[in-house]
């Protein structure tokens, strides 16, 4: 049997979709997830059920922060590529649960890097693709956000942990020749999405006839990115690891096999417009509970995706006018409403 592609966070929103895409292309996939209770684990188990019917998929319930079990598993499996999507997500949750971010996003990522280093030293590793976030841009006011912009003003611990991941990957690429590509995801939504994200939260409230919380009195915009576009970007990047003599503009430092890209819709949408499109797809009249700006939030996000266009021919295909009705259809089917 060929070496599997390892996906950490395989029971997560993006992880499930990436795993399905890899399986569809004939790859063997080893999924890893700790199935924590940040949100209802039943949704994670239901995502896994979509994968476990595939004979080329295997699952290990494991915490990447486990310094013994996780490296031992990768040493046994000898993957050549890792898609690292496991993380403690959520900006607001980081205000009340900071240690969860240190454990998963920092300690866990060191374990991923160390496992990749050991595999690389044995001559058996090709590429680490890992999830970063648009949150790293923090208080940056220049738009669109470009990979070369300053990212030293994070406004949440979550953002700081993701920026730390980028720096850590750069060190391992520099010192140990671990080829790595970081992807800064911009507000991902779609079928099987996370319940703490806007599309899911708003849909649940609207169908229940409840008001939705609208922060900064609606004066926010986000570069919403549909899951199929994210998966297409991950798949394209996975096939092409950066090298020490790489001339791509997304390789941050010449001679270091580490690249960073934005994956975003490249079309910021006003939050109020997003709500209107979602409510139209649901056939509901939204009740809005206007609130002040939330701690750790930013006013707007907007991805510069030109490096992805140049290097991979990638660009987003799905506007919210199409993506939100698709999400609503899945939500109604999954929740039988």
pLDDT digits (tens, 9 = 90+) for 69-119: 999 999 999 999 999 999 999 888 888 999 999 999 999 999 999 999 999
Please report, in tens digits, the pLDDT of each residue of the chain (337 residues total).
Answer: 589 999 999 999 999 999 999 999 999 999 999 999 999 999 999 999 999 999 999 999 999 999 999 999 999 999 999 999 999 998 888 889 999 999 999 999 999 999 999 999 999 899 999 999 999 999 887 889 999 999 999 999 999 999 999 999 999 999 999 999 999 999 999 999 999 999 999 999 999 999 999 998 888 899 999 999 999 999 999 999 999 988 776 777 778 999 999 999 999 999 999 999 999 999 999 999 998 888 777 888 989 999 999 999 999 999 999 999 999 999 999 999 8
Is 158 noted as a catalytic residue in this protein? yes
Residues pairing with 263 in the sheet: 185
pLDDT number for residue 294: 81
Output the average pLDDT for the chain: 94
Angle between helices 13-24 and 41-51 (to 10 degrees): 0
| Annotated catalytic residue, options 39, 130, 137, 158 | 158
Angle between helices 69-77 and 108-121 (to 10 degrees): 30
Q: Spell out the domains of the chain, with CATH numbers in brackets.
A: 5-189+226-265+302-317 (3.40.50.720)
- Pick the closest to residue 145 from 309, 308, 302, 314 (CA basis): 302
């Amino acid at each position: 049997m060929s070496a599997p592609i390892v996906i950490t966070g395989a029971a997560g929103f993006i992880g499930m979709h990436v795993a399905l895409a890899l399986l569809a292309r004939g790859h063997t996939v080893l999924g890893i997830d700790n199935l924590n209770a940040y949100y209802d684990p039943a949704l994670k188990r239901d995502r896994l059920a979509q994968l476990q019917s595939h004979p080329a998929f295997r699952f290990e319930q494991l915490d990447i922060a486990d310094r013994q079990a996780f490296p031992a598993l990768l040493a046994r499996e000898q993957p050549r590529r890792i898609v690292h999507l496991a993380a403690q997500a959520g900006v607001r949750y980081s205000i009340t649960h900071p240690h969860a971010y240190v454990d998963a996003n920092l300690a866990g990522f060191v374990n991923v890097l160390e496992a990749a280093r050991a595999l690389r030293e044995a001559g058996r590793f090709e590429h680490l693709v890992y999830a970063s976030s648009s949150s790293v841009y923090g208080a940056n006011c220049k738009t669109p956000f470009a990979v070369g912009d300053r990212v030293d003003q994070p406004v949440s611990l979550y953002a700081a942990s993701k920026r730390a991941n980028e720096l850590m990957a750069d060190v391992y690429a520099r010192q140990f020749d671990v080829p790595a590509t970081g992807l800064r995801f911009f507000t991902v939504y779609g079928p099987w999405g996370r319940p703490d994200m806007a599309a899911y939260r708003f849909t649940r409230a609207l169908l229940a006839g409840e008001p939705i919380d609208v922060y900064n009195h609606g004066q926010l915009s986000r570069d919403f990115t549909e899951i199929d576009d994210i998966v297409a970007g991950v798949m394209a990047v996975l096939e092409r690891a950066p090298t020490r003599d790489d001339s791509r503009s997304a390789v941050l430092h010449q001679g270091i096999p580490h690249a960073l890209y934005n994956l975003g819709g490249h079309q910021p949408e006003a939050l109020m417009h997003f709500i209107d499109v979602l409510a139209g797809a649901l056939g509901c009249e939204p009740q809005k509970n206007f609130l002040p700006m939330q701690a750790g939030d930013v006013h707007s996000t907007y991805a510069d995706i030109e490096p992805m266009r140049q290097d991979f021919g990638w660009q987003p295909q799905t506007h919210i006018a199409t993506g939100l009705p698709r999400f609503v259809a899945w939500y109604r089917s999954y929740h039988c409403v």
